[in-house]
C-alpha cells in the first residue's frame, strides 16, 4: 500500500501550476483555450503536426492546451504513461472496451458493474462480441470463468453496490499470462486511494463527474494507460468517435483536482463515522463499506487501497421496497438522486419496486440503500439517518 509519501506527491500534482507559468505569462490559473483550431506558419508545419496529432495542437477534437494540463495531472496521479479525457465517463469506457475487442471475442465482467457499462457490454452482442458475468471477486472463480476467446476482463474494485474488492495484483498477473487485457473503473477510489496500474492493470477509466470534479458541475471521463495502448486508441476510438472533453469542462476539472486531496480525506472521515453508526443500528442488517473491519475484504483493502471514499450501501432488516421507500423519503440531509462524489450527500436504491427477483439473482438484497456521504458536518448526517430509520 502506498503511504504518506505518495499522498504528499499527489497533493503537489493536484495543486502544482509551476509547469505552466512560463507558457501562460505567470497566470496562476491557466487560460481556457476556447478555440477549435490552431493555425501554422507553413503548410509543411501543419502536415507535420497532423501526422502526430496527439502531441500537437491542430483541432479541438484532438488535443487542447487547457484539457492537456488535466490529462498530464491525471496520468501522473495514476502513475501512468498517458491519459486522454472524454466528454463523459461512458465515452472513456466505450473507447477502452472497443479498442480491446473485435468480432468473436468475449468480455468477462467481474461481479456487479456500473449499470451503463453492463448495458454497453450487452449491446456489443450486436457485433458478435459475447460476455459473461462472474458474480464473485475470488481470483480462483474468476480464473474458472475465463473462456478461450476472452480478450478483456472488466472490473470495478470495489464492486458496484456491495463494495467487494478484487485482488488486482493476482488478477492482472493471471490475465497477462493468458494475453487478456484488464480494464478497471477506478471512479470510486480515485487515483489518490488506488493506483491500479501499479498492480499491473492495463487501462484505468474514470467518470470525472464524481470525485475528480467534485462539485456536481462537470461531466467528463478519463482513460489512463501505457503509451503503446494510447497510440492506437487516440487515432481510432478517441479521434473517430469524437467524444472530446470541452475546454471549459477541462478548466472546471482542473479546479476540482486542486481540492481533491482535501475533499477525499473529509469524505473518508465522514464515511467511516456513518458506516460505524449504521453498523450498530438495530434496523440495519448489513453495511457494505470496505473501511469497516467487519468487511470481508478489509485485509485486502489494507494492501491495495490507501483510503476509502464516501460511497457505501446498507441493507434494511425489513428488506422490501415499501420499507426502502419509507426510509429514503424521510431523509432530509441526504438528497434523493443518482450519481455521487460531490459535496452533497445523496441517497438512492437499485430497488425499483418491480425488480426484487433480478436483484436477488445478482446477489443483492431488496432492502439495499446506497448512500453517498458528502462533506456536510457529520453530526447533521448522523441525526438525519437516526430520524429516518426511526418508526
Ligand atoms: C458515473 C459512473 C460512470 C459513468 O460515467 P458518466 O460520466 O456518467 O458517463 C461509470 N462508472 C462509474 C463507477 C460511475 O459512477
Per DSSP, the residues of 122-189 read HHGGGGT-EEEEE----HHHHHHH--TTEEEEEEESSPTTT-----HHHHHHHHHHTT-EEEEE-TTT
CA–CA separation, 97 vs 229, rounded Å?
12
> Which pLDDT belongs to residue 4?
64
Q: Which atom of ligand 1 is nearest to the CA of 209?
A: 7
Percent of the chain with pLDDT over 90: 93
Ligand 1: residue of 95, 114, 163, 213 to mutate (most ligand atoms within 8 A of CB) is 114
Domains of the chain listed by start with CATH number:
4-256 (3.40.640.10), 261-389 (3.90.1150.10)
pLDDT tens for 288-299 read 999 999 999 999
Q: What is the DSSP letter of 25?
A: T
Those residues whose C-beta lies under 8 Å from the C-beta of residue 163, and which sit 6 or more positions away, are 188, 288, 289, 290, 295, 311, 312, 313
Our measurement of the distance from residue 339's CA atom to the centroid of its chain's CA atoms, rounded to an integer in Å, reads 11
Closest C-alpha residue for ligand 1 atom 8 = 89
pLDDT value at 92 more than 60: yes
Taking only the tens place, the pLDDT of each residue in 110-149 is 999 999 999 999 999 999 999 999 999 999 999 999 999 9
CA of 89 to the centre of ligand 1 (A): 5
Pairwise CA distance, residues 63 & 14, whole Å = 21
Question: Average pLDDT in the 253-258 region?
Answer: 97
Q: Give residue for cell 488486482.
A: 168
Q: How far is the CA of 58 from the centre of ligand 1 (A)?
A: 29
Q: Are 116 and 90 contacting, i.e. CB atoms less than 8 angstroms apart?
A: yes
CA 95 to centroid of ligand 1, rounded, Å: 14
Burial 196-215 (b: 16+ CB within 10 A, else e): bbebbbbbbbbbbbbbbbbb
Whether the Cβ atoms of residue 137 and residue 165 lie closer than 8 Å to each other: yes
CA angle at 301 for the pair 170 and 137, rounded to the nearest 5°: 50
Instruction: Indicate if the pLDDT at residue 1 is higher than 50.
Output: no
pLDDT digits 0-9 by tens, 33-67: 999 999 999 999 999 999 999 999 999 999 999 99
Candidates 91, 162, 184, 209: which one to mutate for ligand 1, based on the most atoms within 8 Å of Cβ? 209
Question: Is residue 160 a contact partner of residue 119, using CB atoms and an 8 Å limit?
Answer: no
How close is the Cα of 115 to the center of ligand 1, in Å? 9
For residues 293 and 50, is the Cβ–Cβ distance under 8 A? no
> What's residue 20's pLDDT?
77
Residue 2: strand, helix, or coil: coil
As a whole number of angstroms, the distance between CA 316 and CA 135 comes to 22
- Phi, then psi, of 244 in degrees rounded to 5: -70, 150
Q: 188 C-alpha to center of ligand 1: Å?
A: 10
What residues are in contact with ligand 1 under a 6 Å CB criterion?
Answer: 88-90, 114, 116-117, 156, 185, 187, 207, 209-210, 219, 221
| CA-closest residue to ligand 1 atom 14 | 207
* Protein residue whose Cα sits closest to atom 1 of ligand 1: 207
Helix locations, 219-355, DSSP H: 227-233, 239-241, 247-258, 260-279, 298-304, 321-330
Measured between alpha carbons, how far is 77 from 202 in angstroms, rounded to an integer? 15
Closest Cα partner for 305 from 189, 199, 197, 204?
Answer: 189
- The label of the residue with cell 504513461 reads 81
3-state secondary structure of 42: coil
pLDDT digits (tens, 9 = 90+) for 350-377: 999 999 999 998 889 999 999 999 999 9
What atom of ligand 1 comes closest to residue 160's alpha carbon?
13
Amino acid at each position: 500500500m502506498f503511504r504518506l509519501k505518495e499522498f504528499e506527491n499527489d497533493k503537489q500534482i493536484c495543486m502544482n501550476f509551476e509547469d505552466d507559468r512560463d507558457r501562460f505569462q505567470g497566470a496562476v490559473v491557466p487560460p481556457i483555450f476556447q478555440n477549435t483550431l490552431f493555425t501554422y506558419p507553413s503548410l509543411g508545419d501543419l502536415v507535420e503536426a497532423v501526422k502526430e496529432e496527439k502531441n500537437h495542437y491542430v483541432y479541438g477534437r484532438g488535443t487542447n492546451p487547457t484539457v492537456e494540463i488535466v490529462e498530464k495531472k491525471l496520468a501522473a496521479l495514476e502513475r501512468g504513461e498517458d491519459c486522454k479525457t472524454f466528454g463523459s465517463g461512458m465515452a472513456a469506457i466505450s473507447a477502452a472496451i472497443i479498442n480491446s475487442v473485435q468480432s468473436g471475442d468475449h468480455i468477462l465482467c467481474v461481479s456487479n458493474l456500473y449499470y451503463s457499462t453492463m448495458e454497453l457490454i450487452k449491446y456489443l452482442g450486436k457485433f458478435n462480441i459475447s460476455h459473461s458475468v462472474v458474480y464473485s471477486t475470488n481470483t480462483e472463480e474468476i480464473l474458472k470463468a475465463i473462456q478461450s476467446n476472452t480478450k478483456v476482463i472488466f472490473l470495478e474494485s470495489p464492486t458496484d453496490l456491495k463494495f467487494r474488492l478484487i485482488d488486482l495484483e493476482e488478477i492482472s498477473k493471471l490475465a497477462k499470462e493468458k494475453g487478456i487485457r484488464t480494464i478497471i473503473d477506478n471512479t470510486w477510489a480515485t487515483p489518490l486511494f488506488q493506483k491500479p496500474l501499479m498492480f499491473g492493470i492495463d487501462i484505468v477509466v474514470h467518470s470525472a463527474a464524481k470525485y475528480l470534479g467534485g462539485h456536481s458541475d462537470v461531466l467528463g471521463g478519463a482513460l489512463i494507460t501505457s503509451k503503446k495502448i494510447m497510440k492506437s486508441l487516440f487515432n481510432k476510438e478517441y479521434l473517430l468517435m469524437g467524444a472530446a472533453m470541452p475546454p471549459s469542462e477541462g478548466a472546471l476539472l482542473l479546479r476540482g483536482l486542486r481540492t481533491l486531496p482535501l475533499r477525499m480525506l473529509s469524505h473518508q472521515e465522514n464515511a467511516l463515522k456513518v458506516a460505524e453508526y449504521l453498523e450498530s443500528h438495530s434496523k440495519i442488517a448489513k453495511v457494505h463499506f470496505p473501511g469497516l473491519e467487519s468487511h470481508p475484504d478489509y485485509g485486502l483493502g489494507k494492501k491495495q487501497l490507501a483510503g476509502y471514499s464516501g460511497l457505501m450501501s446498507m441493507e434494511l432488516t425489513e428488506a422490501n421496497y415499501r420499507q426502502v421507500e419509507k426510509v429514503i423519503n424521510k431523509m432530509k440531509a441526504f438528497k434523493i438522486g443518482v450519481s455521487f462524489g460531490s459535496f452533497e450527500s445523496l441517497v438512492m436504491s437499485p430497488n425499483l419496486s418491480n425488480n426484487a427477483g433480478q436483484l436477488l439473482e445478482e446477489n443483492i438484497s431488496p432492502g439495499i440503500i446506497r448512500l453517498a456521504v458528502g462533506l456536510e458536518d457529520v453530526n447533521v448526517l448522523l441525526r438525519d439517518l437516526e430520524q429516518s430509520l426511526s418508526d
